Amino acid sequence: MSGINIKKLALELNLSAATVSRALRDSYEISTETKQKVWAMAKKLNYEPNPSASNLRSQKSKTIAVIIPEVANNFFSQAINGIEEIARTRDYHVLIYQTHENSETEIAFIQRLLSGRVDGILISISKETDDNQLFKEIIKDIPVIFFDRVFKDIDAVKITTDDYESTYNATLHLIDCGCKKIAYLMGLSNLETGKKRIDGYTAALNDNDIAYKNELIMADCTDDDENYQQIKKLLITEKPDGIISSIEELALPCYYACKDLNLNIPADVKIISFSNLKTAPLLNPSLTTITQPAFEMGKEAATILFKILDKKYFESNETLILKSTLIKRGSTRCE
């Protein structure tokens, strides 16, 4: 395990330490035959180059970082698995960082990553972050791919889903089911992602001659209990017959609030939420979801990052848009 260094390898191989070192670096000065001998012995003895020293030489960490708000959010855990599937084929390690939606933590992480610790970054920005200035600097130093939660005005690769179309279609579904007072639970309001989602809702109302009402829009809070209280208040004062939740975190508080108020889902109020919850089909009632292709998104993001690392041509400010799926279930059943 431990204690195998270049000197010991050299001793085993009856070669000089300098030759072994050069062979390990795949230097042109060393014959293929010798290199293969060295590599075979290094493998046999489980030789691990000191990563710090080796980083300084090769400038390659063989590591990428994924920076996300929360691993407990199903969208992100699935996206990470997509990223890892690609990284594994390239023999790269994936470091996962959580920002917990905190902009300062996010910045502190990234500043530490800048000096060669990783070869590239895949990031979904925290909902607090509204300033892209730092990111404009960072993308000059290291390849960064933005996914799901992206900035509008930044010259980098961005991968999103069809946020506008998703809420447009979800709102249409509620209208088709007879809803006339559709509440909208707003998340990610600082971000392009959140703005597109509410735009889709507004457009669908407009196209169906339903007036947009400020009272039916609720912005999310950071505190779970406060979200629950706000939703309860909205249900009591505005009596919506439909709800669109633009983030997964607000779906369950809706269920709890309806339970407490003795409101029947879907008879009294129909609910749709952005969500990658595995239990959505088993809830009481099963939840109609806008499900993002999280795993595929992770795969796409990692694939593009490796193209950039391989210095293959890639349009640096390309935006990829993947399609989400509206899965109709019990919570929007038309009676």
Q: Which of 25, 90, 116, 327 binds a copy of itself (CB under 8 A)?
A: 116
Q: Rounded to 5 degrees, what angle do the CA atoms 221, 227, 233 make?
A: 125
Shortest separation between residue 284's beta carbon and a copy of itself, angstroms? 4
Going by DSSP bridges, is the β-strand pair 120-123/144-147 parallel, antiparallel, or unpaired?
parallel
Shortest separation between residue 269's beta carbon and a copy of itself, angstroms? 15
Per CB under 8 A, which region of 21-29, 120-128, 193-201, 284-292 contacts a copy of itself?
A: 284-292
Shortest separation between residue 243's beta carbon and a copy of itself, angstroms? 15
Closest CA to 142 of 125, 126, 160, 118: 118
155 forms part of the interface with a copy of itself (CB under 8 A): no
Per CB under 8 A, which region of 13-21, 92-100, 165-173, 211-219 contacts a copy of itself?
A: 92-100
Query: How far is residue 248's CA from residue 133's CA, in Å, rounded to a whole number?
Result: 29
Beta strands in 109-181 (DSSP E): 120-123, 144-147, 157-161
- By CB under 8 A, the residues from 250 to 269 that bind a copy of itself are 252, 255-256
Site string for a copy of itself, 24-63 (x = CB under 8 A): ----------------------x-xxxxxx-xx-------
First-residue to last-residue Cα distance in the chain:
66
103 forms part of the interface with a copy of itself (CB under 8 A): no
- For residue 144, what are the CA distances in angstroms to 75, 99, 140? 20, 16, 9
Residue closer to a copy of itself (CB basis): 81 or 229: 81
Per CB under 8 A, which region of 12-20, 31-39, 71-79, 147-155 contacts a copy of itself?
A: 71-79
- The number of residues that bind a copy of itself (CB under 8 A) is 50
Q: Are 268 and 49 in contact (CB under 8 A)?
A: no
Query: How far is residue 127's CA from residue 129's CA, in Å, rounded to a whole number?
Result: 5
292 forms part of the interface with a copy of itself (CB under 8 A): no
User: In the numeric block, which tokens belong to residue 200?
Assistant: 């889709």
Residue closer to a copy of itself (CB basis): 30 or 302: 302
Query: How far is residue 14's CA from residue 172's CA, in Å, rounded to a whole number?
Result: 75
137 forms part of the interface with a copy of itself (CB under 8 A): yes
Query: How far is residue 102's CA from residue 127's CA, in Å, rounded to a whole number?
Result: 8
1 forms part of the interface with a copy of itself (CB under 8 A): yes
Per CB under 8 A, which region of 108-116, 211-219, 233-241, 314-322 contacts a copy of itself?
A: 108-116
Per CB under 8 A, which region of 160-168, 178-186, 235-243, 272-280 contacts a copy of itself?
A: 272-280
Shortest separation between residue 84's beta carbon and a copy of itself, angstroms? 7
Nearest 10 degrees: CA dihedral of 94, 90, 80, 310? 90
Residue closer to a copy of itself (CB basis): 14 or 46: 46
Hunting for tokens 């020293």 — which residue is that?
53
Q: What is the DSSP string of 85-107?
A: HHHHHTT-EEEEEE-TT-HHHHH
User: In the numeric block, which tokens belong to residue 201?
Assistant: 């809702």
Q: Which residues bind a copy of itself (CB under 8 A)?
A: 1-2, 46, 48-53, 55-56, 70-72, 74, 77-78, 80-81, 84, 93-98, 100, 109, 111-112, 114-117, 134, 137-138, 140-141, 252, 255-256, 277-279, 282-286
